[in-house]
Chains A and B, each alone.
Chain A
Amino acid sequence: MGLLSDPNRRRALISLLTRLNAPICVVCYMAGVAWFMGLAFEPFTLRTYMSENAMGSTMVEERFPAGERALGTGREFSAHKKKAGGMPVDWLVKTMQSRGLEVFTQRFSRRLPFPDEDKERYMVKGTNVYGILRAPRAPRTEALVLSAPCSPGDDNNQAVGVLLGLAQYFRNQVFWAKDIIFLVNEHDLIGMQAWLEGYHHTNTTGMDWSPLQGRGGSIQAALSLELSSDVVTSLDLVLEGLNGQLPNLDLANLFYAFCQKIGVLCTTQGKLQRNDWDSVSGYSHAVQTMMLMVMKQASGRPWGDHGLFLRYHIEAATIKGINSFRQYKTDATTIGRLLEGMYRKLNNLLERLHQSYFFYLMPSLSHFVSIGYYMPAFGLLALILLLRALDLWIQLATPPTFNLNPPPSQMSSPGVLSVLTPLVISHLTGVALYTLPIHFQEIAVEHFPVSETEAVVLTAIAVYTAGLALPHNTHRGLFVPPFNGWKVLKLVAVLYLAVLLGCTALINFSLGFILALTLVPVAAFVTPDVPKALSAFIMVILSPACTLLFSVFLFQELQEMPVSFLDGWMLYLSVISQGILDHALYGSLVYPLVALLVYPCWLLFWNILFWK
């Protein structure tokens, strides 16, 4: 007879499951964490390689000569920027036209839901300027984009200079098969969002922009350049985009291949690669690089102007020039040649980049881990939830030996209601957490001496903390639920968490994994029987808000800029406000996910802990 259909064997399996449930859960958790840490170990990773046949090797001759002239143009741009007090639109239009591009501008304006204290803006008005280099012999069906942000102050002047220098050089070549769009965007991400929405005729975030007069065909790839010094010592590649989306790995492979060919020092996450993978410090370096990528991806915000292209299935990356105090310096001509080589190779593309991976982690620029290798780490954590659900199901299905409860027929109807009430109340609290901070900021500003941003953030924290008081209050108001009702609620909550984390991990593995690391132990061990005070404390420590707090400190540590507790707390508040702003401005999904789904799920477990 089969394993599951034979009653004897089934009973044996079930007893095995119930007896060993806790040990297996612990083993799975440790295995999941160990698997994740092992991903950075070099023998478990693969070397990066070019998958796209059309791009082939770096066999191209780069001849860009005019680095110094580009830097001169950058200085002119800086002077005009100071004079105009923002984007020097007329000068840019004139310069691009003199280089033979078709120049167009786009005006945009946006009122933020509350003032952004990091970038000091509230009512944003700006202009994007872009010039299109038409391919001499090709039909206007495809395009490539090179962009540089127009930043306030002294930042990114050299980036615009190199962009204009490359535009002039590219104009003299005959081998372009795609149009190249040179874009200078104002107010970094907001301007980029306006441009992309105008280009693709979508309006998802409620911004106000003038329609684009000139277009270049469907965009195949985009690079964003950030360069703030005349010479650089290394080039950093930023890949993480909106909602943790990553460009195709072939773009990173292309960048790395050219860095090796030209001999420029290249990094990812700002960390140089090390060769000693078998030593402890080498391994920890790789772990740090990977953890930085994981945290950046989990935050769901675009870490460069390229991050917004990914939503339109345009592979994009940001290249940042870093000037640390190192002996070997790279000048603007070499940077121009690297970009020229990359664009010539992208020019050879016949289809969008699709041969390489879209989901990966990079412990260094030359090694990667693909989704097939890192997903089991999350799978092991999700397994714990499934084992717990099975355990609860078995307990609910078999009648207990000492039966003090009402007969099973009576259990079903109060059972459903006892589950539904906490569910509805938790989700209502989640909705409150999502909507109240922004809507009540005026009232908060009237009553308390805080700025709008602080009002929003503190309201969010207040609603979050108020949710902790719920179980005590709701139980008094409603009927007394039966003794075993918490098991049904826990079963529902565990399955709900499993589905939620699973879906999150599929789209944004880092976010799903970090949430799983903290929420799965909570889901696994919480029952009304555990010691209340200690468990409450542990649950609060493992709740999403505290996870975020610890992540902020960890992130600063990994970037080798550790902060004191007070600075860390201010940073934490600004992270919350940035998260809410990202959601309003660009459609980032982390804040709604946490407020509307993860927090209510956690509240369900809080309810179970305080079950009476």
Chain B
Amino acid sequence: SHAAIKIQPMRQFFSSGHTNNWAVLVCTSRFWFNYRHVANTLSVYRSVKRLGIPDSHIVLMLADDMACNHRNPKPATVFSHKNMELNVYGDDVEVDYRGYEVTVENFLRVLTGRLPPSTPRSKRLLSDDRSNILIYLTGHGGNGFLKFQDSEEISNVELADAFEQMWQKRRYNELLFIIDTCQGASMYERFYSPNLMALASSQVGEDSLSHQPDLAIGVHLMDRYTFYLLEFLEDIHPSSKANMNDLFKVCPKSQCVSTPGHRTDLFLRDPGSALITDFFGSVRKVEITMETINLTEPIHFVNEERQKETYSYVDQLPVSEIIHQKPKQKDWHPPDGFILGLWTLILLVFFKTYGMKHLKHIF
């Protein structure tokens, strides 16, 4: 009755499909001269917090402590603009994985949820099938890998498999993956799970360049792509209607020197319909209704299909069919005995022609 009528507007209401937002922000490099990677991550953290995602829904992983590094002439600060205009460290930063805890294993466990029971809640990604997740990685990378902590690497295949695990466990609704490293586009080449959108700061064979050299601190403060991304995000407010197509235009080649890339073929919606705040912010949707709901009657869910909807939604996807059930191609080999016989024939002909005395050359 009444409940049945409400379903229709709710479908429009939840047109984006997600009900909560998470962010996983990772800086993978340590050492003082990699100051800019920590500053990159903290700039995205700042924007994401400003647009509404709370600390409880952000997993921030910083591989080194730049603010309290002995070489920092301004202790307890991390600047993103030269001449110390903007301190992205602030006074309410909550780092979840710090220093040596930022490893490939911990990162993959956070994504897939396979953490030991003793892990505190702040270190877990507690997303569900209605979560939009923003994943931001920065550090030193190459063609097909990203370096963690100067001692290990994560490859693009591992990352794609991790996302597939997340998909199979329904740990995300939609996922935006941003990477700012050298040759960053190679990291999203191998994705095959649905509902992934990816952006990278440079193509394969290109280096992402640093920006903002600061003489007082003595290091580069930011990377170009994230610097212009931060400038773009500073203009976004929670009710902004800017969409992903605007995000793709951030940092053209004239500003970035490298060519940023993106990938949208696995994303099921039109990127133009995906708002920036769908991933970077946590927008609480409020709709004022003039109709009354009778709370004395128990509410029965009229159509059970709503639960099945989630599964049938998935089954509709032709993508998973094609990708998961592709038969493995086996190369054709000639039968084993054939090769042996061929070689025996060759040897016999050789010895017949040149005589047996040449055998001693072999032995």
In the complex, whether B216 has a CB less than 8 A from a CB of chain A is yes
In the bound assembly, the distance between CA atoms of A60 and B75 in angstroms comes to 17
Asked if residues B213 and A59 are in contact (CB atoms below 8 Å), the reply is yes
Report yes or no: A54 in contact with B215, Cβ–Cβ below 8 A: no
Contact among A53, A54, A60, A138 for B70, CB-based, below 8 A? A138
Give Cα distance in the complex from A348 to B71, angstroms.
Answer: 7
**A175 on the B face (CB < 8 A):** yes
Contacts of B19 in A (CB 8 A): none
Known: A54-B32, A54-B33, A174-B75. A348 touches B70 (CB 8 A): no
Residues from chain A with a CB closer than 8 A to the CB of B220 are: 59
Q: Does B106 sit at the interface, judged by CB under 8 A?
A: no
**Structural contact, B215 and A53, CB atoms closer than 8 A:** no
Contacts of B216 in A (CB 8 A): 61
- Tell whether B219 is near chain A: CB-to-CB under 8 Å: yes
- In the assembly, what is the distance between CA of A56 and CA of B71, in Å? 15
- A497 vs B92: C-alpha distance in the bound complex, in angstroms? 72
- Provided the pairs A59-B215, A174-B75 are in contact, do residues A137 and B70 lie with their beta carbons within 8 angstroms? yes
- The yes or no answer to A347 lying at the interface (CB within 8 A) is yes
Within 8 Å of chain A (Cβ to Cβ): is B205?
A: no
Cβ of A18 to closest chain B Cβ, rounded Å = 32
B90 at the interface (CB under 8 A from A): no
Assess whether B31 is interfacial by the CB under 8 Å rule: yes
Instruction: Given A60-B215, A60-B218, verify A347-B33 contact (CB < 8 Å).
Output: no
CB distance A54 to B213 under 8 Å? no
Could you say which residues of chain B place their CB within 8 Å of the CB of A403?
none
Known: A61-B215, A344-B218, A348-B218. A177 touches B31 (CB 8 A): no
Identify B219's interface contact among A59, A135, A136, A350, CB under 8 A.
Answer: A59
Name the B residues within 8 Å of A135 (CB-CB): 70
The answer to whether residues A53 and B73 also contact, given A59-B215, A59-B218, A61-B215 and a CB cut-off of 8 A, is no
CB distance from B75 to the nearest CB of A (A): 7
Q: Is the CB of A177 within 8 A of B215?
A: no
A173 sits at the interface (CB 8 A): yes
**Considering the chains assembled together, what is the distance between the CA atoms of A345 and B32 in angstroms?**
12
Q: Which residues of A contact B71 (CB under 8 A)?
A: 175-177, 347-348
Query: Taking CB as reference atom, which chain B residue is nearest A136?
Result: B70
Chain B minimum-CB-distance residue to A60: B218
Scoring B68, B69, B215, B218 by chain A CB atoms within 10 A of each residue's CB, the highest score goes to: B218
Q: With A59-B219, A60-B218, A348-B218 in contact, do A174 and B33 touch (Cβ < 8 Å)?
A: no
Q: Can you list 25 A-B pairs with a CB-CB distance of less than 8 A?
A: A54-B33, A56-B33, A59-B213, A59-B214, A59-B215, A59-B218, A59-B220, A60-B215, A60-B218, A61-B216, A135-B70, A136-B70, A137-B70, A137-B75, A175-B70, A175-B71, A176-B70, A176-B71, A177-B69, A344-B218, A348-B32, A348-B33, A348-B71, A348-B218, A350-B31
Q: Which 4 A-B pairs have the closest CB atoms?
A: A177-B70, A61-B215, A138-B70, A175-B73
If A59-B214, A59-B220 are given as contacts, then 6 extra A-B residue pairs at C-beta distance below 8 Å, sorted by A number, are A56-B33, A135-B70, A175-B72, A176-B70, A348-B32, A350-B32
